[in-house]
Amino acid sequence: MNFHKVKSLLLLLSVVTLFTFRVTGQSSDNEDDNQTLEMGIQILKRYFYEDNQWYITKPSVAKDVKGLINFIEDAPIDTVISNIFNSFSQDQTYVFRLPENVEDSLTVPGFYPFPQVQQRITIISKELEKEFENRQVQVPASLLTNLDTKLKLIPEGKGIQLFTQSIYSMPADLQIPEVIPDSVLNSAEKFQKLVRLDSIRTVYIEQKRINYNDSIKAVYVDSLTNVYGRRAYQEELNYQIKRFSDSVKVNNYNVLREYNEAVVNSVNDSISLVLETLAQYADFIDSTRITMFNLSGNSAEIGLNSGSERFSRFWLKNVQNDSLSVLVRSVGKRGMFMLIDDGVTISRYKPKETKDFDFRSLEKNISSLTSVGKSYEVQTPWVIGGEGNVGFSQTYLQNWKKGGQSAISSLIVLKGFANYRRADGHIKWDNSSEFRNGWIRPGGKEEQLQKNDDKFEFTSRFG
């Protein structure tokens, strides 16, 4: 029992191994064929597609070579046509374009062009300048404190520095000599005058110091006001420009998006119509022509395509040269429909075996007169006979919804026999013959006389 199991297992492993080897061999052969095809295609592309130092001698041959390469690389035409027709039902988008790639954007209604943007920015800048002329600039308070230290102002009592540094010049009537003459010191009137001049001079110097410090502060505050005013103006201008630019971008994008969607839909509709026309044309021209032959060597052709139905009539023949009319109709580009004419009867006449019977054996002597001999009697060993018939039929059809054609047919059948019997019954010789001849003239395009039955048979038997 174990031996049988081992034997079965070994047999199964052998079959699996052989099958694997065959599959592997077939796969290897297919891979080799694919590699060979790929190498051949690359060689052709190298010389017929790439721009190099090789030049094409005959453009028509190059066109044929490229067509052959495309035929091998591309899917079969039936698959391509089927996929294209399926894309119509799926409402597929074939191509698209981004809104920013619209080339004729300046002609799109509602689009804001760049020159108008620049003009609007200039108007915004001028309006903002007028607005800031009457606007009070806010300067941080920290920048307006401790100005004496920050600006290095002239302290009180040090105003003479303004004159010693030649910032101001002392009026001639307020000048006091560095060395006071003795005449002034010795004269009370002149000395009092000098004292009054000195006090006036001190007030004048202090006033100049205050004016100088105030001018320094004013210049400082004006500079701060100008800086912060320009900064505030620039910030506001940048904000308004950005807001305006963003609104223009949003507007232009929406305008171009709607325009681009309409153009994309229109382009895809045009592509769909063109593809439908080309696919129908490709399906129409993708036809097959089939030639049918009979035993007599006659032929009939029919074209198969998806564009229209084609009809052809074909005569079938057998070895006895009998004819049978067949109407062939194309069904698409991959099938045919065959129909024989109505009322066709196919029959075969075979010689039948006969059994001879001698009715004389039934004769009985019913009276004494039967024994009386006859004066004479003519007897012949031959029995000859025959029969024949002629048939004629005509069919006329008009506006028959099921199809068919008018036809005329005829058939002649002649049969005969001649049998020999010797009186002693030892020798027999049977002879028979049959002659058949039939003709038919169908309607339609092939309206010509055709032979549909032709037979001559002679049978002889001796024994």
Does residue 460 form part of some domain? Answer: yes
272 and 203 part of one domain: yes
Residue at which a domain ends, from 74, 94, 124: 74
Q: Please name which of 353, 419, 356, 413 lies closest in space to residue 387, comparing C-alpha atoms.
A: 413
For 179-189, the pLDDT digits (tens) are 666 666 666 77
| Pair 69, 145 in one domain | no
pLDDT at residue 140 tops 70: yes
The yes-or-no verdict on residue 13 having pLDDT over 50 is no
Domain-embedded: residue 347: no
Q: Are 63 and 145 members of one domain?
A: no
- Are residues 308 and 240 part of one domain? no
- Are 415 and 325 members of one domain? no
- For 23, residues 6+ apart whose C-beta sits below 8 A from its C-beta are none
Question: Given pLDDT bands bounded at 50, 70 and 90, which one contains residue 353?
Answer: low
Assess whether pLDDT exceeds 90 at residue 171: no
Residue 327 lies in domain: 289-340
21 and 63 in a single domain? The answer is: yes
Q: What is the mean pLDDT of residues 375-393?
A: 78
**Helix H segments across 292-451?**
none
> Which residue, 283, 300, 323, sits at the end of a domain?
283
Q: How far apart are CA 333 and CA 315, in angstroms?
A: 22
Identify whether residues 125 and 222 lie together within a single domain: yes
Q: Is residue 357 part of a domain?
A: no
Query: Residues, the chain, total?
Result: 463
pLDDT of residue 374: 56
Residue 334 and residue 430 in one domain: no
Q: Spell out the long-range contacts of 142-148 with Cβ–Cβ below 8 A and sequence spacing 24 or more.
A: 143/224, 144/221, 144/224, 147/217, 147/220
Q: Among candidates 409, 407, 415, which has minimal Cα distance to 389?
A: 415
If one compares 460 and 201, the residue with the highest pLDDT of the two is 460
Residue 84 included in any domain: no
The residue-averaged pLDDT of 17-42 equals 64
Helix (H), strand (E) at residue 399: none
Residues 161 and 306 in one domain: no
For residue 246, give both structure tokens: 């963003």
Is 358 a domain residue?
no
Last residue of a domain, one of 253, 283, 313: 283
Number of folded domains that form the chain: 4
- The mean pLDDT value of the chain amounts to 76
Q: What percent of the chain has pLDDT over 70?
A: 75
- Closest by CA to 205, choosing from 148, 167, 149, is 167
Same structural domain, 329 and 402: no
Is there a domain that residue 349 lies in? no
Average pLDDT over residues 372-380: 61
- Would residue 233 count as lying in a domain? yes
| Confidence at 23, pLDDT banded by 50, 70, 90 | very low
Averaging pLDDT over each range in 19-28, 48-57, 210-219, 370-379, which range is the top one? 210-219
Same domain, 137 and 263: yes
List the strands of the sheet with 428-442, edge to edge. Answer: 382-395, 407-421, 428-442, 450-462
Judge if 279 and 293 occupy the same domain: no
User: What is residue 239's predicted lDDT score, i.e. its pLDDT?
Assistant: 92
Q: Give domain status of residue 165, yes or no.
A: yes
User: 0.95 cut: is pTM over it?
Assistant: no
Q: What is the mean pLDDT of residues 243-247?
A: 92
Among the listed ranges 150-154, 234-238, 375-379, 392-396, which one has the minimum average pLDDT value?
A: 375-379
